[in-house]
Amino acid sequence: MSFETHRHLIRKYPARADTLGLESFPMEERRRWCIFTSVGDKNAIRSWLENATPRQWDLVSAYYGSNDDEFSYIRKESSYAFRTKGSKFQNLKKLVIERPQLFDKYSYICVCDDDIQMSTAQIEEIFSIVETFGFWVAQPGFHPKGKISHAITCSTWPQWDFRIVNYIEVTMPIFRSDKFAEFLAVYDGGLVGWGIDHWFSNFFKANDFGRFAIIDKIRVINPRDSQKGAREIDRLQSAVRRSEAWEKFRGAHGLVEYPHKVFSYGKLAPKNDLYAETIPTRGLPLAQRILVLLRVIARTSWREAIWLIKCGMTTRRQWRRTVKSR
């Protein structure tokens, strides 16, 4: 659903903004999202920015490479860029300490590896979907052409558009702004990469609340290790050391690695303005619901009307689940 549709619904049905998952953010701030990334000299950022004018998201970059020309390009394309060394979340923590209000204006922040292969359109769409449902933490589905570290993260599209899960991988988590701030307040930079995803899964009780989601409709490619060459994170700390650090941290804090679980599956409604009319009908008198349905049928076919109703039922089931967990 587009931002314009959201704005129309909030103005027309302000009392129902809560059920739409839009209650947390002022309307004027909802146009902007943010991607934070640690950038090296081998990155995929140009593909993110291709045909990206205008775009609804900002890029914030921590550059750890050594090419001055590349840094000049990154700085030009970023709303904020700085040079540093360290892992993605470590660099993010440094930035939040130095500029604690930098991310305040964004409704969602994606903490993304710099080599993820995705388009501007995909970025815009996944932010829009995640914001529509008000998920706490989400990620796109990973295309099987690329690296799949955990089977649950492999995209199930076109069978399903999204899944409610208890695990989001550290590669590209998208945080709702309040949850982003909450986790960064406790993350101390001790873990380099391994285990950070389990940490925020425990912190947000992902196994109890259905607020984590994999957006299967958006399929991005996480390049395989054979394509990447030497991994920057391995230069910072070996995989063995990262694993040992997580085991020590987990034991000290009583954290668990949840067995991966899918709570529910969902399909998104078609991109059709008619569907926007059906969303606020929950709670309206039956006669008004029937009038909305007849209006949809009059402006389209019976087949599409039935499809819209099915989509509405699927979406409402998801909203009921998410609203209860707030």
- CATH number, domain of 211, equals 3.90.550.10
Asked if residue 305 and residue 189 are part of one domain, the reply reads no
CA 59/CA 109 separation, integer angstroms: 10
Amino acid present at 287: A
Asked if residue 182 and residue 299 are part of one domain, the reply reads no
Mean local confidence (pLDDT), 87-95:
93
Is residue 195 left, alpha or beta, with left meaning phi > 0 and alpha meaning psi from -120 to 50? left
- Residue that wins the pLDDT comparison between 208 and 30: 208
- Give the residue among 57, 326, 324 at the shortest CA–CA distance from 174: 57
- Residue that wins the pLDDT comparison between 282 and 27: 282
- Residue that wins the pLDDT comparison between 269 and 146: 146
Mean local confidence (pLDDT), 204-231:
87
Q: Are 214 and 139 in contact (CB under 8 A)?
A: yes
Q: Which residues pair with 162 in a beta bridge?
A: 266
pLDDT tier, 300 (very low <50, low <70, confident <90, very high otherwise): low
| Boundary (domain end) residue, out of 250, 266, 282 | 266
Amino acid present at 11: R
The rounded Cα 110 to chain-centroid distance in angstroms is 6
Mean local confidence (pLDDT), 169-187:
96
Asked if residue 310 and residue 229 are part of one domain, the reply reads no
pTM of the model: 0.74
Output the pLDDT for position 275. Answer: 46
What does the mean pLDDT of the chain come to?
Answer: 80
Task: Tell me if 284 is assigned to some domain.
Answer: yes
Asked if residue 190 and residue 135 are part of one domain, the reply reads yes
Mean local confidence (pLDDT), 144-161:
91
| Boundary (domain end) residue, out of 237, 266, 295 | 266
Residue 252 has pLDDT above 80, yes or no: yes
- Residue that wins the pLDDT comparison between 228 and 254: 254
Amino acid present at 280: P
**Strand ranges inside 184-257, DSSP E:** 212-220
Asked if residue 120 and residue 89 are part of one domain, the reply reads yes
Asked if residue 283 and residue 220 are part of one domain, the reply reads no
Task: Tell me if 66 is assigned to some domain.
Answer: yes
Q: Per-residue pLDDT tens for 165-177?
A: 999 999 999 999 9
Residues 68-94, buried b or exposed e (16+ Cβ, 10 A)?
Answer: eebbebbeebbebbbeeebbbbbbbbb
Mean local confidence (pLDDT), 308-313:
56
Our count of domains for the chain comes to 2
Output the pLDDT for position 262. Answer: 93
Asked if residue 159 and residue 37 are part of one domain, the reply reads yes
> Domain limits at 87?
32-266
Asked if residue 212 and residue 298 are part of one domain, the reply reads no
Task: Tell me if 4 is assigned to some domain.
Answer: no
- Residue that wins the pLDDT comparison between 243 and 1: 243
CA 90/CA 120 separation, integer angstroms: 26
| Boundary (domain end) residue, out of 266, 290, 316 | 266
Task: Tell me if 203 is assigned to some domain.
Answer: yes
Amino acid present at 251: G
Output the pLDDT for position 278. Answer: 44
CA 259/CA 267 separation, integer angstroms: 24
Output the pLDDT for position 17. Answer: 43
Task: Tell me if 22 is assigned to some domain.
Answer: no
Residue 268 has pLDDT above 80, yes or no: yes
Asked if residue 146 and residue 289 are part of one domain, the reply reads no
Task: Tell me if 13 is assigned to some domain.
Answer: no
3-state secondary structure of 65: coil
3-state secondary structure of 39: strand
Output the pLDDT for position 250. Answer: 87
Task: Tell me if 200 is assigned to some domain.
Answer: yes
Asked if residue 241 and residue 297 are part of one domain, the reply reads no
Output the pLDDT for position 210. Answer: 84
CA 311/CA 293 separation, integer angstroms: 13
Asked if residue 292 and residue 176 are part of one domain, the reply reads no
Asked if residue 182 and residue 45 are part of one domain, the reply reads yes
